Amino acid sequence: MYSEAIQAFIIFKQFTNFIMKKTISFLSVLIVALIFGTQITYAQSGGKFTPEQKEKFKAQIEADLKKLNLTDEQKEPYKEISIKYLDKLKGVKSAGGSRWSKYKKLKAIQKAKNAEMKRLLSSSQYSTYLEIQARRRKELKKMRR
């Protein structure tokens, strides 16, 4: 009587162990696949701009050139600085780290860009440039809400 109960218990225990091992194996494979897939997607999106983003950025630069009333000598350096810092900002966005560390990096990049723009632009152009930046920040805040 006890031997049949013990044998049944042993068979039950082996069966549950088998099921648990298969379940754990399946979940492990699933988790690895999800992580791998997420990393590939994340890596592919980092550093690349969509055609819509490129067009929007070009339009912003052209609008800035008109609003700032830049000379012909200022236009090309303005575009180069804008593109250089846009690439840096995109890199920070796609990089890992905490929100606070990203915020500090973004602020440092913005400060460096503003310093370069201040050297390039006249004082009235620079104040207009800062107004444009403030307006864009407000627009971004509205879009987030």
Distances (CA, A) of 133 to 5, 10, 63, 114, 137: 78, 72, 13, 10, 6
Q: What is the span of the domain harbouring residue 41?
A: 1-45
Whether pTM exceeds 0.75: no
Q: Are residues 31 and 56 in the same domain?
A: no
- Number of domains within the chain: 2
* Nearest by Cα to 82 from 108, 126, 116: 116
CA atoms of 117 and 114, how far apart (whole Å) = 5
- Reported as a pLDDT band with limits 50, 70 and 90, residue 48 is low
Q: Are residues 115 and 69 in the same domain?
A: yes
In the predicted model, what is the mean pLDDT of residues 76-95?
A: 84
Residues 6 or more apart whose Cβ sits within 8 Å of residue 103: none
